[in-house]
């Protein structure tokens, strides 16, 4: 009979416990964590990624803008619906003073993050328009890549539960767990050199389609339940509330704006809304 | 082994039509996707898996020792462990993939 590592314990007898290999592995993983996962570069080198787009907008749109009179935050529907030049003309102000930095898959948490990170400049705005959608308030127990990058430990503990919370706490200490998509993107970039840049229009709007996460678009409770199963939580607008609180502290008038829905998905969303509101 | 792997196609595919399309693609060595990354990524994954398997099998076969890896230099062992852990982390999926036998 042939010896087998599965059925014979004889072949698996180990002499003594010497975990030197494990120690070396731990050290190598620590090096990866410190010199790769904790570097901003790994998260932002691809402009057309969830973190890269925020970084690109901050560097290429917010930073060069001298004065913001009207600021628009929201998702791609809001980005497409509010044209800065038209709004500026209607309000009789310079078109450079209207900034629509809404982005694809932008959630209230993303708006809050952008506002927090650029508060010094954005707090001087005279009017903040926030795009709100039913589905933006729908929360699942799956943290987004932006949440993984921008969230504090307290937010990780407070807004997720069970496995997701444990994973977020672990990844707060071991950032490689958070940065896995970025590391994957870096590998793709090295091997295949795909185009990682986004288009920024002359009016500052950023055109980008999140093809990586297209399957995760949860535009109604019904659809979200089908995709996420029991990981769907409920309507929860904590990020929107927090953003509104910050605006109140800064004395900024806020206009909540919801672009009309006219597509089939809009109908599904409307049906879900009538059930849940 | 090839037969077993081909049979897995029927386990994984949602219906016979999809399984047939997949097998036809395998036979004709074609895919509907055309981008360099879309074609290259699965091939790389296949090559990586093959390399991992042979990296364990060949030293075992050559030395006729199932635990030959434990005699590798410490640095090489550490590198192998770290690489395996990183592969598990970087290529993990967030989508729910139920254990295949739960579907029956």
CA distance B48 to chain A (A): 13
* pTM for this entry: 0.76
pLDDT at A159 over 50: yes
Query: For residue A186, what is the enclosing H or E element?
Result: helix A180-192
Quickly state the pLDDT bin for A268 (edges 50, 70, 90). Answer: very low
In chain B, positions 40-59, which contact chain A (CB-CB < 8 Å)? 40-41, 44
pLDDT > 90: percent of chain A: 49
- Residue B40's alpha-carbon distances to A210, B6, B46, B78, B83, in angstroms, are 21, 21, 10, 29, 21
Measure the CA–CA gap between A180 and A118, rounded to whole angstroms.
26
pLDDT at A216 over 90: no
CA distance A134 to chain B (A): 23
Inter-chain contact A180–B92, Cβ cutoff 8 Å?
yes
Question: Is the ipTM above a cut-off of 0.90?
Answer: no
**Could you tell me which chain A residue has the CA closest to the CA of B57?**
A5
* Listed range (A10-24, A217-231, A252-266) with the worst mean pLDDT: A217-231
Instruction: Tell me the average pLDDT across B10-34.
Output: 78
- Residue B101's alpha-carbon distances to A23, B11, B91, B97, in angstroms, are 37, 9, 23, 11
Say what the pLDDT of residue B23 is.
85
Inter-chain contact A187–B90, Cβ cutoff 8 Å?
yes
**Three-state SS for A158?**
helix
| Every domain of chain B and the residues it spans | 1-30, 35-94
Neighboring chain A residues of B74 at a CB cutoff of 8 Å? 20-21, 24
Quickly state the pLDDT bin for B17 (edges 50, 70, 90). Answer: confident
* Listed range (A146-150, A190-194, B41-45, B49-53) with the worst mean pLDDT: B41-45
CB atoms under 10 Å from CB of A144, counted, come to: 17
**Three-state SS for A254?**
strand
A24 touches chain B (CB under 8 A): yes
pLDDT at A145 over 60: yes
B90 touches chain A (CB under 8 A): yes
B36 touches chain A (CB under 8 A): yes
pLDDT at B34 over 90: no
CA distance B80 to chain A (A): 8
Neighboring chain A residues of B92 at a CB cutoff of 8 Å? 180
Quickly state the pLDDT bin for A155 (edges 50, 70, 90). Answer: very high
Inter-chain contact A5–B66, Cβ cutoff 8 Å?
yes
| Every domain of chain A and the residues it spans | 40-276
Token readout for A143 is 């943290």
Inter-chain contact B89–A177, Cβ cutoff 8 Å?
yes
Say what the pLDDT of residue B21 is.
83
What is the per-residue pLDDT across A43-71, written as a single tens digit (0 to 9) for each?
Answer: 999 988 999 999 999 999 999 988 899 99
Quickly state the pLDDT bin for A141 (edges 50, 70, 90). Answer: confident
What is the per-residue pLDDT across A22-45, written as a single tens digit (0 to 9) for each?
Answer: 999 999 999 999 999 999 999 999
Say what the pLDDT of residue A251 is.
95
Measure the CA–CA gap between A265 and A267, rounded to whole angstroms.
5
* Listed range (A1-15, A54-68, A243-257, B8-22) with the worst mean pLDDT: A1-15
Neighboring chain A residues of B67 at a CB cutoff of 8 Å? 5, 11-12, 14
């Amino acid at each position: 009979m042939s010896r087998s590592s599965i059925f014979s314990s004889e072949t698996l007898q180990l002499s003594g416990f010497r975990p030197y290999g494990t120690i070396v592995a731990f050290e190598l993983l620590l090096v990866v964590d410190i010199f790769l996962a904790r570097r901003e570069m790994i998260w932002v080198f691809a402009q057309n990624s969830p973190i890269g787009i925020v970084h690109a907008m901050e560097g290429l749109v917010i930073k060069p803008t001298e004065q913001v009179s009207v600021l628009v935050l929201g998702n791609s529907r809001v980005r497409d619906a509010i044209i800065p030049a038209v709004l500026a003309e209607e309000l009789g102000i310079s078109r450079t003073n209207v900034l629509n930095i809404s982005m694809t898959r932008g959630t209230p948490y993303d708006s809050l993050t952008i506002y927090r990170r650029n508060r010094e400049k954005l707090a001087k705005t005279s009017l903040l328009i926030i795009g709100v959608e039913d589905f933006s308030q729908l929360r699942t127990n799956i943290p987004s890549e932006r949440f993984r990058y921008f969230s504090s430990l307290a937010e990780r503990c407070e807004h997720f539960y069970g496995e997701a919370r444990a994973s977020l706490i672990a990844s707060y200490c071991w950032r490689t767990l958070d940065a896995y998509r970025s590391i994957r993107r870096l590998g793709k970039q090295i091997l295949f050199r795909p185009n990682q840049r986004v288009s920024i229009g002359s009016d500052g709007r950023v055109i980008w389609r999140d093809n990586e996460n297209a399957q995760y678009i949860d535009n109604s409770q019904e659809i979200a339940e089908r995709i996420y199963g029991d990981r769907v939580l409920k309507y929860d607008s904590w990020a929107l509330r927090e953003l509104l609180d910050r605006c109140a502290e800064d004395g900024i008038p806020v206009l909540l704006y919801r672009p009309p829905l006219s597509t089939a998905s809009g109908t599904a969303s409307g049906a879900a809304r009538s059930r849940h509101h | 082994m090839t037969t077993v792997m081909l049979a897995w196609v029927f386990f994984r595919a949602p219906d016979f039509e999809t399984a047939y399309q997949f097998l036809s693609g395998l036979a004709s060595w074609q895919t509907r996707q055309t981008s360099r990354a879309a074609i290259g990524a699965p091939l790389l994954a296949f090559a990586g898996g093959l390399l991992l398997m042979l990296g364990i099998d060949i030293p075992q076969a050559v030395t006729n020792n199932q635990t030959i890896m434990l005699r590798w230099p410490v640095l090489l062992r550490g590198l192998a462990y770290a690489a395996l852990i990183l592969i598990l982390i970087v290529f993990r999926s967030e989508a729910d993939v139920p254990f295949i036998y739960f579907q029956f």
